[in-house]
Amino acid sequence: MKMIFVTFVLSLTAITLLSFNQTFDLKASVQRGKTVYETNCMSCHMAEGTGLEGAFPPLAKSKNLADKNRLIKVILQGMKGPVKVNGVEYDSQMAPVSLTDKEVSDVLNYIRNSWGNKYPAVLPKDIQPGLKAPSKGYQKF
Ligand code: HEC
């Protein structure tokens, strides 16, 4: 009887640990990401992610937000060169923004889940591999 109880407690602990490891609180990340956005991005991309036509590309309702690896590089390595967003051409540059992996994941979860955008969560552990992954047409700053 005692053995069964011990086994039960051990399994329960294992299940709890596993689920803690696997569930990522997207809502909390989006909330933290809003602050990261307001501090580091909003001055150009605007509070509602609309950007400024001809100068700063919009992030709201942009199909370019689908490739998370490209976004990771845009933030941490900047970008330059022509890009077409929602039918408008931009040919400017963005300097890299210095953020931790957690902040990059939070700000990406915010911009990818605001203003009509909806994409799966980006985890802090996705950031470094994403930096190394190639993205078509991406030009470093
Ligand atoms: C000083 C202004 C400025 C700031 C601050 C800034 N950006 Fe940018 N961002 C730009 C410009 C300009 C471009 C377009 C560069 C080009 O034309 O190659 C751009 C491009 C982008 C793109 C690519 C858009 C696309 O459709 O390809 C993303 C995503 C982006 N910025 C997100 C961010 C995030 C997130 C932050 C904050 C961590 C941020 N930016 C901070 C000016 C800025």
pLDDT at position 139: 95
Give the residues surrounding ligand 1 with Cβ less than 6 Å away.
40-41, 43-45, 56-57, 59, 62, 64, 71, 74-75, 79-81, 83, 85, 90-94, 97, 107, 111
pLDDT at position 133: 96
Q: What is the pLDDT along the chain (141 residues), one digit of tens a residue?
A: 777 767 767 777 776 666 655 689 999 999 999 999 999 999 999 999 999 999 999 999 999 999 999 999 999 999 999 999 999 999 999 999 999 999 999 999 999 999 999 999 999 999 999 999 999 889 999
Q: What is the Cα–Cα distance from 76 to 84, expressed in whole angstroms?
A: 21
pLDDT at position 9: 72
Do 58 and 49 meet the contact criterion of CB atoms below 8 Å apart? Answer: yes
Q: 55-64 burial, b if ≥16 CB within 10 A, otherwise e?
A: ebbbbbebee
Centre of ligand 1 from the C-alpha of residue 44, in Å: 7
